[in-house]
Amino acid sequence: MIDIQLVSQACLSRVKLGQSLKTVFPQELEKLCDKNDQPAVKNTVYGALRYLGYLEFSLDSLVSKRPNGLVSLLLISIYLIEYSRSANHAVVNAAVSSAKQMGFVKLAGLVNAVLRNYLRQQSKIKKNACDHDVANLQHQAWWVQKIRQAYPSQAEDIFSTSLQHPNLALRVNTRSTSLEEYLRLLDDQNIMWERPEQIWADAAVILTQPVSVHQIPGFFEGLVSVQDVGAQMTATRLDLRPGQRVLDACAAPGGKTCHILELEDVYVTATDKDPERIIRVRENLDRLSLAAETQAADISDTEAWWDGELYDRILLDVPCSASGVVRRHPDVKWIRREKDIDSFVKQQRSLLSVAWKVLLKGGKLLYTTCSIFPDENENQVKWFLKEQSDAKLDPIYAAQNGHLILPNDSHDGFFHALFEKK
């Protein structure tokens, strides 16, 4: 318990400074704690980030001045008292010991007093939190306002969904096996599963019990990939035909790249500006026995990667706020700033303009985000149609300026818009 709270507060401190969990995990965990303790630390940090609004509200209710250096430890400890099965006295004792190990021997008594005061005022604090949006809905105030403005009748469901533990969804590689055969394999190994209701997810299966990657049957043999059910919609929307040239821009880590190749015999170029992330694409291709041209390049610099031949299809999965996937990445809803949205919008428009130049006439470009903010979705579609006179939106998407799926207990939130070049 001592090590878990100590390491968890160190990880939370880094997130509160603006670093993403992708940066904090897994390198820092390997430095800070034993491998056997890493799952417990991850669960604790993820849980604290899901409920950080309430934890911050609670701490502010207990102290008039936050003790420098001990804030994250107190937040982690309040989380464990409120949301875990740990015994309250064990959490308090471990927090006191952790404070001493951190060098705050003189403040160990304060840690003890704050946490015991929380135990006394727990009911009152929880009641007061109901009238505080950030504490009650677990998102920053500006984020709450944006969601309520865009989805007044669905906002509460969106916020509650973000607190759920996401399911583990798989995409069956139909080039290597059939869905039916794979489901029998799961049954043979007594792994519980269910099929999603979404009509587009014809190769998807959801595991209804916790399973590590090493326990997924056939994963390393290329029979399946881990991919959210909502993300499995993307490749199916490209309207692929055999022999087409396809560009997957911003491709890492390669889930959609591989799905494209599983669906159709096409020639794929997968690019990503991060050389380390393009390695992930290659690893996934190799695992699934698929082939594509991969390039570590920024698509904005066409001279560095483009061979001059236009593409029949382009998948443009742009960098975005990730507001649709916060149940998987709860750090996002705290490290993101409102001004970041404008930066993403500018970047998305730049990428759209560049990608459009390398698309064949009569070709199609699928614009996608894992955002649910209209600024990055419908508003971008409107802008692009005004900007490009030779662009038209696929009729299926025209009524709503794209197709948005909001996050729920089956999938994350995603947006798609399919453009055709006249």
pLDDT one-digit tens code per residue, 200-236: 889 999 999 889 899 999 999 999 999 999 999 999 9
Percent of the chain clearing pLDDT 90 (strictly above): 89
Query: Is pTM beyond 0.85 here?
Result: yes
Amino acid (1-letter code) at residue 10: A
Q: CB atoms < 10 A from the CB of 183, how many? A: 16
Write down which residue in 179, 200, 226 finishes a domain. 226
For residues 269 and 376, state if they share a domain. Answer: yes
Amino acid (1-letter code) at residue 98: S
Distance CA 139, CA 336 (A): 10
Amino acid (1-letter code) at residue 18: G
Task: Report the CATH number that the domain containing residue 6 is assigned in CATH.
Answer: 1.10.940.10
Task: Report the CATH number that the domain containing residue 211 is assigned in CATH.
Answer: 3.30.70.1170
Please give the structure tokens belonging to residue 347.
Answer: 């970047």
> Which of 270, 266, 292 is closest to 363 using CA atoms?
266
DSSP secondary structure letter of residue 295 = E
Please give the structure tokens belonging to residue 297.
Answer: 């390049």
Cα atoms in the Cβ-side hemisphere of radius 13 Å centred on 363: 20
Active-site choice (11, 250, 258, 370): 370
For residues 275 and 379, state if they share a domain. Answer: yes
What pLDDT does residue 200 have?
Answer: 83
Q: Is residue 201 part of a domain?
A: yes
- Report whether pLDDT(266) > 60: yes
- Compute the average pLDDT of residues 107-132: 97
Q: How confident is the model at residue 30 (pLDDT cuts 50, 70, 90)?
A: confident
- Report whether pLDDT(36) > 90: no
For residues 292 and 177, state if they share a domain. Answer: no
Write down which residue in 137, 157, 179 finishes a domain. 137
DSSP H helices in 189-291: 233-236, 255-263, 275-287
Distance CA 207, CA 283 (A): 23
End-to-end CA distance of the chain: 62
Please give the structure tokens belonging to residue 251.
Answer: 């491709």
> Which of 360, 343, 420 is closest to 385 using CA atoms?
420
Distance CA 201, CA 232 (A): 6
Distance CA 220, CA 415 (A): 30
Average pLDDT, the chain: 95
| Segment 375-416, tens digit of pLDDT | 999 999 999 999 999 999 998 888 789 999 999 999 999 999
For residues 23 and 96, state if they share a domain. Answer: yes
Q: Is residue 412 part of a domain?
A: yes
For residues 240 and 375, state if they share a domain. Answer: yes
DSSP secondary structure letter of residue 242 = T
Q: Is residue 189 part of a domain?
A: yes
Which residues, including other chains, have CB under 8 Å from residue 269's CB and lie 6 or more apart? 245, 246, 247, 248, 292, 293, 294, 295, 311
> Which of 74, 54, 78 is closest to 66 using CA atoms?
74
For residues 182 and 94, state if they share a domain. Answer: no
Q: Is residue 153 part of a domain?
A: no
Q: How many domains does the chain have?
A: 3
> Which of 411, 334, 367 is closest to 250 using CA atoms?
367
| Segment 320-364, tens digit of pLDDT | 999 999 999 999 999 999 999 999 999 999 999 999 999 999 999
Catalytic site includes residue 320: no
Q: Is residue 218 part of a domain?
A: yes
Q: Is residue 205 part of a domain?
A: yes
Q: Is residue 154 part of a domain?
A: no
3-state helix, strand and coil shares in percent for the chain, rounded to the nearest 5: 50, 15, 35
Q: CB atoms < 10 A from the CB of 35, how many? A: 9
Please give the structure tokens belonging to residue 142.
Answer: 């500006």
DSSP secondary structure letter of residue 86 = S
For residues 257 and 314, state if they share a domain. Answer: yes
For residues 274 and 402, state if they share a domain. Answer: yes
For residues 222 and 279, state if they share a domain. Answer: no
For residues 241 and 272, state if they share a domain. Answer: yes
Distance of CA 214 to the CA centre of its chain: 21
What pLDDT does residue 2 have?
Answer: 55
Distance CA 241, CA 326 (A): 34
Phi, psi of 364 (to 5 degrees): -130, 140
Write down which residue in 226, 253, 269 finishes a domain. 226
Mapped onto helix, strand or coil, the DSSP state of residue 59 is: helix
Domain containing 194 equals 168-226
- Compute the average pLDDT of residues 98-124: 97
Q: Give me the residues paired with residue 316 across strands.
A: 249, 367
- Report whether pLDDT(34) > 80: no
| Segment 160-205, tens digit of pLDDT | 999 999 989 999 999 999 999 999 999 999 999 999 988 788 999 9
What pLDDT does residue 29 have?
Answer: 73
Q: Is residue 159 part of a domain?
A: no
| Segment 292-331, tens digit of pLDDT | 999 999 999 999 899 999 999 999 999 999 999 999 999 9
For residues 325 and 216, state if they share a domain. Answer: no
Q: Is the distance from CB of 305 to CB of 271 less than 8 angstroms?
A: yes
For residues 349 and 387, state if they share a domain. Answer: yes
| Segment 38-92, tens digit of pLDDT | 889 999 999 999 999 999 999 999 999 999 999 999 999 999 999 999 999 999 9
